Structure formats: structure tokens, C-alpha cells
Amino acid sequence: MGKAAAPCGGSSGIVSFLTAVPCLSCKPQPAAERRMSDQGKGSASTTAGAPAPGSDTYKGWLFKWTNYLKGYQRRWFVLSNGLLSYYRTQAEMAHTCRGTINLATAHIDTEDACNIVLSSGGRTYHLKAGSEVERQRWVTALELAKAKAIRMMRDQSDESGDEEPTSQSDRSEIQGTLKTLASKLDDLSTCNDLIAKHGAALQRSLSELEGLRVPVEGGEKIKAVNERATLFRITSNAMINACRDFLDLAETHSRRWQRALQYEREQRIHLEETIEQLAKQHNSLERAWREAPTLAANTPAAPTIDKAGNDRPQKGEASDEDEDTEYFDAMEDSPAFITVTAADHTQHRRSVSNLSGASGGHPNDWNQEDHVSPSCNDSSGKELQPRRRRRSRIPDKPNYSLNLWSIMKNCIGKELSKIPMPVNFNEPLSMLQRLTEDLEYHELLDRAAKCDSSLEQMCYVAAFSVSSYSTTVHRTAKPFNPLLGETYELDRLEEFGYRSLCEQVSHHPPAAAHHVLSRRGWTLWQEITIASKFRGKYLSIMPLGAIHLQFHSSGNHYVWRKVTSTVHNIIVGKLWIDQSGDIDIVNHRTKETCQLKFSPYSYFSRDVPRKVTGVVTDSDGQAHYILSGTWDDKIESAKIVQSSRGGSGSEGKQKTVYQTLSPKLLWKKYPLPENAENMYHFSSLALTLNEPEEGVGPTDSRLRPDQRLMEAGRWDEANVEKQRLEEKQRAVRRRREAEASDALDEGREYEGYQPVWFQKRTDSLTGETSFVYKGGYWEAKERQDWSLCPEIF
């Protein structure tokens, strides 16, 4: 009466077994109808495709009701993952699905011997199989898939309500196996219900046959079949019970394994907390030891410590060296040193890698003459000029919450400048103003200009290059991307003797040119292009371009480049910034160099976070100064008086032992203003950068409306204005592209956008082409003639 089941293996053996069971509640098919069905199967076969091994997929042809004109049409149906989809042909599976119904919310009904009705959410499918057997196979598969879909939906609901967000990634293989076992048990339970249903129908049919008048031999056969059906039902129940016992046993062991796993997790967390606590205690002890005033005095002879942390006994009780000398011990490849600090004619040993609590002078002494060598004293450099009173606070930052990941998840791998972001992630300063913030510690360059020794001058230049990062430690917000042609001036000529001008000279890639001229003997210029990538968990910001610094009297020309900045915990946790990489400062006139190393943060490192170390060498490669400190606090220098080769290190390389004088404090960070945490952690200079000023150019960042609205706390209006400005800039870019295309078609040259105050030149020292100041801005400001400026706001 029915076809043999298609062979199948894997987890879909249950489906294959069920498809071989015909619907015994239906009437036997007459011969004529059977012949018609067989013919239909030849042309419009409803033979379901056997499920693939290891999957719960069921496929085959069914007739679907379309409309009263066309009636039932032959369609290819696919049952997979609780969804029933249909196609006109099997080839359409690759590209076009005609419809899908979710069985989890569907109602399955049978109208007659061969019809199936599926309804869900107002959608109804009227289907017809080629025979009763095919209809029953589809009904069985649909009921099984519906049970699985309902169970899966319930499990997902339970998981989302009960589990912690991080449990999904930590789910063990045991839990997955247990879920699979539970799924298979539910399959068997569904099978048991179906077998019981069909078995009851079979027994009723047999009982009816027994009541009929049949020959004795036929009655005995019917009785034997009835007994076998009863035995089959008992066996299936026994199988279900055995599977249930097995699952109970697996659940018992799983709970035991779960407890063991949870215990291991707790132990790991406890160990991490213990390590963190020990690290904090270690730093506290080191700080207390460094700050103890009588420690060195009570120690008659302290051991010399090498770089690897090993104690070396001194050769004698008395030393032939001066009491004002100290020792550095360093490997050639690493600028990390161990120091011996002299204080009050008593040697006090400490590590340069832990400098945060020690200083060569008082915290605020770095800008006093006590720490400047006689050759660098400037008795006339600080003219007493009346200083304009500038603002010391801005409106507090509003407390608006916004999910960063909801915006950044679609931006992985993109340039930061091409990511459209609301002002909620910005600070009310543009990138041009952030670039101008490098001048916060311009006094270092004023002192350097007075130095007679180019090596001492190099130390101040190195300290200046490090000081530019001191404002970034808490500044996790993103500055505004400048519009093409946007400018920013900072005129501190009367107060500090310098004038600064920035201009956005390119939009894609974003590039800004900067020029500073000081009356106190130096000129600085740079072109910075920001290359930034979002990596999913952190954001890398790579400034490209060289910074040039020239001193007027000596002609010393210094060139260096910035290091990489990384913003961590983009998705989860508190944002924090780290600086890492090397800075090589070169004096192109004397060929002297300074190599600075910014050590990346490491949880297990014994070094103080944000450590910076460096060596100043002459043109012959001989070291003259050691630099050490942190990029968020201070930089010290120590003059080398003698160097010698030491023993081999752990990697088999010889170490160089530097004998130096006591370190001198070159630079120390200014404390942040009061209430800085509510003012974007701005420094005193940053608070004044966006202060309105009269007479500035119409393209100045101070006049940018979205930035001004954000500073005032009107973020919603700022977002609207930001979108307007960006769309205006896009329209201008499209117009230029159209003009360039027209010029190309006409065979004429198209110059394209040219900056107003900067022009491209090839640098004779580096060989690079960059934008340099061509003059005219300050003269235009004096005349208030801004006819050359574009209208960008």
C-alpha cells in the first residue's frame, strides 16, 4: 500500500522510521485510485526527499492551492529548522523562495485523506499530497518539526532570561551534549505519542475485523497481528523509559560537572583578584620605600642592582666615586635602566622603571630656574606682559547615555574619519584645536632656544615631544573632524611670544597643516594625517607625518614623528588610552639623535604604567644623557659621565653600564583644573581654545555652529547642525568632482581644491612632500580682509 522508506542515517533516523509508518486510520486506497496515484507520481511525484544524514531536513513535491483559476499547482517544499518553505522548482532553492511559514506558531490540520492545511498569523497553506501515505509522512514530519521549534523557542527564552551575558561564550561542551540528549528524548517522546495514537487505531481496526464474520484461519492471523501490535507498543514504551533514565543520569552527572566547573571559574577569578591586589601592594611598598626619608641614611652599603633584578655585592665598603654620581645598567636593545639616585649626599637606589613617585626636584620646580643649566638660563626671555584674563571653565558635560557598540559594530575595519557619529562621542574641540594643544608646554622650547649645548637642547626637545601626550590620558572623546578649509588660530604673541595657525588641507585622507612662529627663537611646523582603524575591541590611531622644529640662532633642525595611540575597551568596560612605539628625534644639522621608547601597558609588567625611556647620543653614537619618566606625569634627564661594558644579560648580550649624575627634572604635568572631570577632562589651555575671540577668520573652528552648540550642552541641536554641515561638504565635493569630469572631457586641466594659507613643498631634509605655511594670514587678519576664505559653515 505504501512505499518503502528511503534509507537514511545520522540524527534523522527517527524521521526516516516515521515516514515508513502509514496512516492506519485512513481507509484502504481503492485499486483505481492507487493506479491514478502511481501515474501522478510519475509526472508530479510527491515523493519526499530523504533527509540528509545528520540533518532534520525533509523535502518533496506537494500540490499547493493558488487560486480558483489555476487551482492546485505543483511546488517543491523544504522543511528545515522549524520552517516550511516552498519553491516552484528545485533549482529555485538557490535564489528565490516563494514563501515560508514558521511551524512554531502554526496549526496543522487534515481535511481529508490527502489534504493538509497549515495556518499561522493570518497565512494559510492548502496542500495536497499524491497519496494517503505521502500525506501521513508529511504530517508526521511537520508535527515533529513543530515540537522541536516550540522547544527551541522556549529554550532560547529561558536562556535569555536566566543566563548572564557572558555565559554564552563560556558554555561548556557538557551543556551542549545535555541539550542534544534532551532534544533527542523529546523526539522519542513525540514518536511514542504518535506510535500510541497509531497503535490504538490499529487495535481498533483489528477489533472491528475480529467482529466480522471471517474464516477461522483469518481470525487467528488477526489475533496474532493484534498481539504483535501490543508487543510493539510495550517495547516502544520501554525504550522511552530507558532513554529517560539515561537522561536523568546524564543530568545528575552534568550538575556535578557544572559545580566543578563553576568552582574552577571562581578560583580563577579569585586568583586574578589576588594577583591584582598583590600588584597594588607591591607598588605601594615601592612607593613607601622610595619616599622614606631615612632609609638610605640607615643603610651603610646598599647592593648594586643590575637590569635583570639581581643583587651584586659591592667590591669595597668605601667608594672611590663622587657622592653625586649614580649608575645606569641597561641592555643594548632596551632603554629600561636601573638607577642609583643621589639625594643630600647619600646614595638612594631606585629603578627608573618606577619613577611615578620620585622626582629630582619639587613637583612644581620644573619651570623654575633651579633646574636649568647656566647655559640655558633666560633672564630676559620672560617679559612681564599684561595677560588677558581667559575663561577657566565651560558648561558641564550633559549626562546623555548612548550605546557605542550599536554604532560601531557596523564600522569594523573602516577609517575613523569615515564613520558617521553623533556628537555624543565627541568633545567640543576640533582636531585642529587638539593639534594646537601640543603647545601647552611651549616653555620647554623657550628654554631649549637658550641652550648653548645642542645635546642639552635635545633633552628639552624630547621632553616637549613627550609632553604633548599628557593631555590624552583621560581624553577618550573624539574631536570633531575639521571641514575642508577650516582653520584655527591661537595668537599668544603678547603673552607667550608665539602665534599658531592650523588649516585642514585635505578631507580624504584627512590632513591638517600646522605652523607656529615664536619670538623667543624657534619655529615649529607639521602636517599630520590621521590613519585610524576600528579593530572591534580597540581603536588604533596612527598619526602620519613629520614634525619639524628649527631654532633661529643655532640653526638646529629637529625632526620626529608621533607614536600610535590606542583606545581600549571600545565594547565593554571603561575606555582608557595607551601610547606605544618609538620616537626617533634627529638633529639634521649635527646628526645627534634621541631614541624614546613608549612602553605599552601590560597587566603583568613590574614597570610603572605609561613609562618612557630614552638615550641622547651624538653623531658618533656615544650616549650623553639618559631620559626617563612617564608620558602622563614627568620627564627627567641624567647626564652620563662614564660608560662601560658590563656582563652578559639573560639573552647573552652585553650590557652597558652608565655612570651618571643625579637626574634633573625637565618637565612635569600641570594639574587639571577644578571640576575637570565634568568638563571633558580639559586642561587649562584646552578650556580657552574654543573661547570666542574677535577678528578671527570666518573659517575658524570657534565659529563652527555644531561644536558651539555641543559646548553649550544642546546636543540634539548640535547633531542636526553636524548633519547639515557634513551634507553641505558632500555637495561641494560632488560639484568639484563634476567640474573635474567636465574638464577631463574637454581636454583641459583642472586644478582642484587648493588650501588658502598653506602650499605643497618638498622638504630638503626628509624628501617628503608636505604642506607648509606660505604666509599672509596674520596680514589678512590685521586688514580684516578675508576675501580668500571659502564659506564652509
What are the tens digits of pLDDT across the range 550-590?
999 999 999 999 998 888 877 767 888 889 899 999 999 99
Residue 789 predicted with pLDDT over 60: yes
Query: In this structure, what DSSP letter does residue 441 have?
Result: G
What pLDDT, on a 0 to 100 scale, did the predictor assign at position 484?
A: 92
Confidence band of 254 (pLDDT split at 50, 70, 90): confident
Q: What is the pLDDT of residues 16-44, one digit of tens each?
A: 333 333 333 343 444 434 433 443 444 34
Pair 55, 143: CB distance under 8 Å: no
Q: What percentage of the chain carries pLDDT values higher than 90? A: 31
Main-chain dihedrals φ then ψ at residue 751, nearest 5 degrees: -75, -35
Copy the grid coordinates of residue 710: 555641543
Q: Is the peptide bond before 509 cis (omega within 30 degrees of 0)?
A: yes
Give CA–CA dist 209/231, Å, rounded: 19
For 513, the enclosing helix (H) or strand (E) is strand 511-518
3-state secondary structure 525-571: EEEEEEEEEECCCCEEEEEECEEEEEECCCCCEEEEECCEEEEECCC
Grid cell 539515561 — which residue? Answer: 246
Among 57, 59, 61, smallest CA distance to 42 is for 61
Which residue is associated with the grid cell 626617533? Answer: 584
What are the tens digits of pLDDT across the range 459-518?
999 999 999 999 888 888 889 999 999 999 999 999 999 999 999 999 888 899 999 999
The rounded distance, in Å, linking the Cα atoms of 22 and 782 is 99
The residues with which 568 forms a beta bridge, in sequence order, are: 576
Distance of alpha carbon 294 from alpha carbon 776, whole angstroms: 61
Q: Which three cell numbers stand for residue 284?
A: 605601594
> According to the per-residue pLDDT averaged within each range, which of 150-164, 413-427, 660-674 is highest?
660-674
Q: Decide: 139 and 108 in contact? Cβ < 8 Å.
A: yes
pLDDT category, 173, cuts 50, 70, 90? Answer: low
Q: Are strands 338-343 and 325-331 parallel, antiparallel or unpaired?
A: unpaired
Cα–Cα distance measured from residue 628 to residue 335, given in angstroms and rounded to the nearest whole number? 9
C-alpha 637/C-alpha 726 separation (Å) is 47
pLDDT confidence bin for 416, thresholds 50/70/90: low
Is residue 354 within 8 A of residue 605, CB to CB? The reply is: no
The reported pLDDT for the residue numbered 161 is 45
Output 653 or 579, whichever has higher pLDDT.
579
Tally of CB atoms within 10 A around 332: 11
**385, 388, 433 from 493: Cα distances, Å:** 10, 12, 17
3-state secondary structure of 505: strand
Length of the chain: 793
Closest CA to 496 of 434, 435, 439: 439
Q: What is the mean pLDDT of residues 378-405?
A: 68
Are the C-beta atoms of residues 480 and 429 closer than 8 Å to each other? Answer: yes
Residue 156 has a pLDDT of: 61
Among 628, 635, 639, 645, residue whose Cα is nearest residue 662 = 639
Nearest-angstrom CA–CA distance, 614 and 585: 11
Predicted confidence band of residue 443 (pLDDT cuts 50, 70, 90): very high
CA distance 450 to 457: 8
- pLDDT, average across residues 279-306: 57
State the average pLDDT over residues 79-84.
Answer: 86
H helices of 640-681, where?
none
Among all chains, which residue has been given the C-alpha cell 655612570? Answer: 659
Name the residue among 381, 370, 326 with its Cα closest to residue 348.
326
Q: Please tell me the distance from the alpha carbon of residue 14 to that of residue 84, in angstroms, as a whole number.
A: 19
Please report the DSSP string for 344-373 in residue order.
TTEEEEEETT--TT--SS-TTGGGSGGGS-
Instruction: Provide the grid cell at 744.
Output: 577631463
**H or E stretch including 628?**
strand 623-630
Give the model's confidence band at 202: pLDDT under 50 very low, under 70 low, under 90 confident, else very high: confident
Q: Is the pLDDT of residue 777 over 90?
A: yes
DSSP state for residue 160 in the 8-state scheme: H
- Of 356, 358, 352, give the one whose Cα is nearest residue 305: 352
Bridge partners, 71 (sequence order) = 67
Is the model's pLDDT at 261 over the cut of 70? yes
Q: Report d(CA 770, CA 528) in Å as an integer.
A: 9
Report, as an integer, the average pLDDT of 164-192: 65
Q: Provide the percentage of residues in the chain whose pLDDT is more than 70.
A: 72
Q: pLDDT grade, residue 278 (50/70/90)?
A: confident
Of 772 and 330, the one with more pLDDT: 772
Q: Which of 472, 475, 464, 452 is nearest to 596 (CA)?
A: 464
Task: State the pLDDT confidence band at 99, using cuts at 50, 70 and 90.
Answer: confident
Alpha helices (H) along 625-776:
684-689, 705-711, 715-746
pLDDT at residue 293, as a whole number: 54
Query: If phi over 0 gives left and psi between -120 and 50 gives alpha, with beta otherwise, what is residue 141?
Result: alpha
Distance CA 591, CA 55 (A): 71
Cα separation, 558 vs 554, whole angstroms: 12
- H or E segment at 577? strand 576-587
CA atoms within 13 A on the CB side of 371: 24
Instruction: Pick 600 or 319 by higher pLDDT.
Output: 600
Residue 399: the pLDDT is 80
Model confidence band, residue 277 (pLDDT cutoffs 50, 70, 90)? confident
Read off the pLDDT of each residue in 135-146 and give the average, rounded to a whole number: 88
Residue 318 pLDDT class (50, 70, 90 cuts)? very low
- pLDDT confidence of residue 756: 94
Question: 137-146, 147-156, 286-295: which range is least confident on average?
Answer: 286-295
What pLDDT, on the 0 to 100 scale, is given for residue 9? 38
Single-letter amino acid, residue 146? K
Reported as a pLDDT band with limits 50, 70 and 90, residue 710 is very high
Report the DSSP beta bridge partners of residue 59: 49, 78
How do residues 714-724 score in pLDDT, each as one tens digit?
A: 988 988 899 89
Residue 372 has pLDDT above 60, yes or no: no
Question: Strands 99-102 and 107-109, how do they pair?
Answer: unpaired
What pLDDT does residue 195 have? 76
* CA-based nearest residue to 116, from 65, 79, 74: 65
Contact present, 528 and 504 (Cβ < 8 Å): no
Give the per-residue pLDDT at 646.
59
Q: To the nearest whole number, what is the mean pLDDT of the chain?
A: 76
